[in-house]
A and B are shown apart, each in its own frame.
Chain A
Amino acid sequence: MNRFLWILYILLFVGCSENPKPPHSWTLISGREGTPLYRIKAPNSWNCTHTDSKLLADTMKALCEFNIIEEDQTIRITIHNFPSNSINERIPPMAQIARWKRQFEELNPTHTLITPQSYCGFLGHYFEGTGRIKGNDITMMGWALQIAPEHYSTLSYSTAGFSQSECKQMRSDVTIKVIGSPDMIQKYKRQIKQFAKSFELIEEIPVRS
């Protein structure tokens, strides 16, 4: 009886243990000028492809792409940035989200979510939607982010340690877009959100004192 109770106790503790978290590592992402600008923490099992530095000047090209591959399904994650010369030139995050919504042939309104986001000096919105794109059921997750106006203002002047071109890159708008099948997105949603929330500039944003 005692032996049985001990086995039961051990099984209970084993049953309570969480699945071990996949190992992560920081990935450096270059800006449009080819120098490392951002970093993001991604699971080591995700494939990462960086765009050729010669092609980075084209803002239509993603800075990098991550792929989560499982059997014959893939989740595609692309990260873009959009430099600007002045604060009024920036595209509002909601305009980015409106563009993403237009990519759906049909968008399920009950599975559409837009929430404000603020982290690492970026402000913007998170979009999540499920619908049909090119005849396939797709779930899209997207973060449309801008450097906060306070930081944009600081980075509009040559700040100690950064050149004007570096400041321009640092104050770029950013989008993180995720596309995949609804089932696969649901399975990796938590990891993807942690991944996106780890996105930040490598250098700390100087703050006017």
Chain B
Amino acid sequence: MIYIKKLSRIYHFLGGIAFALILIASVAFLVITGTILESLTESHLFASHFIYGNPLFIAFLILFFVNILFSSLRRWPFKLHHIPFLITHLGLLMILSGTFIKILYGVQGNMGIVEGGGSSRIFIPNSYTIQIEKRAEADRNKIFSTSLKINRTLFGGIDPHFSSFPTHSPFFNLDVQLLEYAPHSEETLETWVKNNHLIIAGIAPLQLQEINIDSSFTLTPQRKMRLHGFEPIWNLYALRNIGEKEAEKIASENKPAIVFMQNSQKDICFFACTADGVMHKEEFPSKGLKSLFILDQGFAGYGVQTSFLELETPVTAKQQSRPPSKKLEENLPKITLYFTENGVSDKITLTYDRYATGLKWPVLKGKYRVRFQPEYKEIPYHLRLRNARQINYPHSGQAFSYESDILIENEEATLSMNHVYETWDGYRFYLANIFPADESAIKQVQIVVNHDPVKYILTYPGAIILSLGILLLFWWWPYKNKGNKNKGTG
């Protein structure tokens, strides 16, 4: 009996107005805190990690559900004048149920598509996975892939004890362990110059030199080399921080000569002057990879090549840890992974590839290639991007609108800033970004994809029912009669 009495008290407390007020005050406090945090850090992700994605916030939503349900059940046996109250609470329960189901089964992600290409894959922002790929032994064009999810800690970091044994073929012999983690880093792709040395495949490294140019541009070459066995002997120079004109002059005065020059912005300028005096010039910017070639589908790495003479250098990635930014969206974590398979091991450091568009790096002597990227999901719709454009105000370079013409499962549609495309089953596609905005290169768009599986079943009907209930609370005839009776007796 005592237990039943206690349970009854708990039941009435959970369904009571006092508990409701405690919940409302607590959630209000959390929301205010989240707003302040977001304002201070200028980071929605920061607020999301600490407040809105916090298990405590989810727990409050569950308690709201319990409070609303119990407060309704406490009215049993139901009478006619309970109807508006019950309708209102039913609407609230439906909205909360829709919220929970969306959290568990909903989809929210980004899709990046290049003009001419297509995708049915979305990336879940701020999630971490290691994408691992391996070729089939029988058919080297067939590639198997798996992804290992890295869980986040409560405050947005990475689970430092991550360790994984992929369980499905052909990865089940592979063991992956996390050795190091840094919350923010910067990655530089190095090509011709590494550690202050010019690296050309097949030639010993050459240290970059800073030279003083006087009136004479005739210089002793740092190396002489014969290319392809039959060519003339080329004079090779590796220089830094001289002007392009000076570098070109050195090449022409010492022909046949090859000059690699690194300028102050770390761009590489290549000059080759043949014995006949024909000058070839090529620039390799420090940002981006020009003339990239892929070795063995990336399983043997990558290289960059000059168009004249076809000199090659391997591409390597250099990562440096940086102090993390308060704006969590800007952070690019870095991880060092240890791969082991059948007694053979390898180590690699990877920087988070936020859009999963960068290079995949070989490990275990090219048996696998890997990338540290967001988690991805396949959606049941395939999008193809035809054209993306920025529309400017007349006679102005200022953007008026952004639009993109896409095919969604062969149906033509135009996405724009104020025009969202929605499928019959609730998948919504929003145009979020176009890069670059002009016609100088093919454009890539970022489309935000959102899917609430119960929007039209629970959330929207719940809102309608809630509104109906509120109206009835004010104008339901039993309440009107009650009001009239009170007036009469008053």
- Measured CB to CB, the residues of A under 8 A from B are 88, 115-123, 147-148, 150-151, 153, 157-158, 160, 197, 200-201, 204-207, 209
Q: How many A-B residue pairs have CB under 8 A?
A: 63
Cβ contact within 8 Å between A116 and B116: no
What separation, in Å, do the CA atoms of A209 and B114 have in the docked complex?
11
Cβ contact within 8 Å between B439 and A204: no
With beta carbons under 8 angstroms apart, the residue of A117, A123, A153, A201 that contacts B292 is: A153
Please give, as numbers and ranges, the residues of chain A lying within 8 Å of B117 by CB-CB distance: 121, 151, 204-207
List which B267-305 residues lie within 8 A (CB) of chain A: 292, 294, 297
Cβ contact within 8 Å between A200 and B292: no
List 8 A-B pairs, Cβ < 8 Å.
A116-B438, A118-B443, A119-B387, A150-B114, A200-B386, A204-B118, A205-B116, A207-B117
With contacts A204-B118, A205-B116 taken as known, whether A118 is within 8 angstroms of B442 at the C-beta atoms is yes
With beta carbons under 8 angstroms apart, the residue of A115, A150, A151, A201 that contacts B439 is: A115
Cβ contact within 8 Å between B440 and A200: no
Cβ contact within 8 Å between B356 and A118: no
Most chain B beta-carbon contacts within 10 A, residue among A88, A118, A158, A197: A118
Write out, one digit per residue, whether chain B residues 438-469 have a CB within 8 A of any chain A CB (1) or not (0): 11111100000000000000000000000000
Please give, as numbers and ranges, the residues of chain B lying within 8 Å of A201 by CB-CB distance: 116
B278 to chain A, nearest CB (A): 16
Please give, as numbers and ranges, the residues of chain A lying within 8 Å of B216 by CB-CB distance: none
Please give, as numbers and ranges, the residues of chain B lying within 8 Å of A153 by CB-CB distance: 292, 294
What separation, in Å, do the CA atoms of A123 and B115 have in the docked complex?
10
Cβ contact within 8 Å between A117 and B116: no
Write out, one digit per residue, whether chain B residues 102-146 have a CB within 8 A of any chain A CB (1) or not (0): 000000000001111111010000000000000000000100000
Kindly state whether residue B307 has any CB partner on chain A within 8 Å. Answer: yes
Kindly state whether residue B384 has any CB partner on chain A within 8 Å. Answer: yes
Please give, as numbers and ranges, the residues of chain B lying within 8 Å of A118 by CB-CB distance: 115, 439-443
Please give, as numbers and ranges, the residues of chain A lying within 8 Å of B119 by CB-CB distance: 207
Cβ contact within 8 Å between B141 and A148: no
What separation, in Å, do the CA atoms of A117 and B115 have in the docked complex?
12
Cβ contact within 8 Å between A117 and B439: yes
What separation, in Å, do the CA atoms of A119 and B117 have in the docked complex?
11
What separation, in Å, do the CA atoms of A143 and B118 have in the docked complex?
24
Please give, as numbers and ranges, the residues of chain B lying within 8 Å of A197 by CB-CB distance: 387
Please give, as numbers and ranges, the residues of chain A lying within 8 Å of B121 by CB-CB distance: 209
Cβ contact within 8 Å between B442 and A148: yes
With contacts A122-B116, A151-B442 taken as known, whether A209 is within 8 angstroms of B386 at the C-beta atoms is no
What separation, in Å, do the CA atoms of A68 and B439 have in the docked complex?
29
What separation, in Å, do the CA atoms of A200 and B442 have in the docked complex?
14
- Measured CB to CB, the residues of B under 8 A from A are 113-119, 121, 141, 292, 294, 297, 307, 356, 384, 386-387, 438-443
Give the residue name and chain of the A residue nearest to B142 (CB): A160
Please give, as numbers and ranges, the residues of chain A lying within 8 Å of B141 by CB-CB distance: 158, 160
What separation, in Å, do the CA atoms of A206 and B113 have in the docked complex?
11
Cβ contact within 8 Å between A148 and B356: no
Cβ contact within 8 Å between A116 and B114: no
A53 to chain B, nearest CB (A): 26
What separation, in Å, do the CA atoms of A118 and B445 have in the docked complex?
13
With beta carbons under 8 angstroms apart, the residue of A150, A204, A206, A209 that contacts B442 is: A150
Cβ contact within 8 Å between B115 and A119: yes
Give the residue name and chain of the A residue nearest to B112 (CB): A207
B390 to chain A, nearest CB (A): 11
Cβ contact within 8 Å between B116 and A151: yes
Most chain B beta-carbon contacts within 10 A, residue among A123, A153, A207: A207
B444 to chain A, nearest CB (A): 10
What separation, in Å, do the CA atoms of A129 and B182 have in the docked complex?
58
Please give, as numbers and ranges, the residues of chain B lying within 8 Å of A147 by CB-CB distance: 116
Please give, as numbers and ranges, the residues of chain B lying within 8 Å of A157 by CB-CB distance: 294, 297
Please give, as numbers and ranges, the residues of chain B lying within 8 Å of A205 by CB-CB distance: 116-117
Please give, as numbers and ranges, the residues of chain B lying within 8 Å of A200 by CB-CB distance: 116, 386
Cβ contact within 8 Å between B440 and A116: yes
Closest 5 CB pairs of A and B: A121-B116, A207-B117, A116-B439, A119-B387, A148-B442
With contacts A115-B439, A150-B442, A153-B292 taken as known, whether A121 is within 8 angstroms of B384 at the C-beta atoms is no
Most chain A beta-carbon contacts within 10 A, residue among B113, B114, B387, B443: B387
Other A-B contacts than A121-B117, A197-B387, A204-B384, 19 sampled, CB-CB below 8 A, are A88-B307, A115-B439, A116-B440, A118-B443, A119-B386, A119-B387, A120-B116, A120-B387, A121-B114, A121-B116, A122-B442, A123-B442, A148-B441, A150-B114, A151-B116, A200-B386, A201-B116, A206-B117, A209-B121
Give the residue name and chain of the B residue nearest to A148 (CB): B442
What separation, in Å, do the CA atoms of A205 and B444 have in the docked complex?
14
What separation, in Å, do the CA atoms of A116 and B115 have in the docked complex?
15
Cβ contact within 8 Å between B116 and A209: no
Give the residue name and chain of the B residue nearest to A86 (CB): B307
Cβ contact within 8 Å between A120 and B115: yes
Give the residue name and chain of the A residue nearest to B436 (CB): A118
What separation, in Å, do the CA atoms of A32 and B460 have in the docked complex?
55
What separation, in Å, do the CA atoms of A123 and B439 have in the docked complex?
8
Please give, as numbers and ranges, the residues of chain B lying within 8 Å of A119 by CB-CB distance: 115, 386-387
What separation, in Å, do the CA atoms of A151 and B307 have in the docked complex?
18
B288 to chain A, nearest CB (A): 11
Cβ contact within 8 Å between B356 and A209: yes
Most chain B beta-carbon contacts within 10 A, residue among A117, A121, A150, A209: A209
Please give, as numbers and ranges, the residues of chain B lying within 8 Å of A151 by CB-CB distance: 114, 116-117, 442
What separation, in Å, do the CA atoms of A200 and B406 have in the docked complex?
12
Please give, as numbers and ranges, the residues of chain A lying within 8 Å of B114 by CB-CB distance: 121, 150-151, 207
A78 to chain B, nearest CB (A): 22
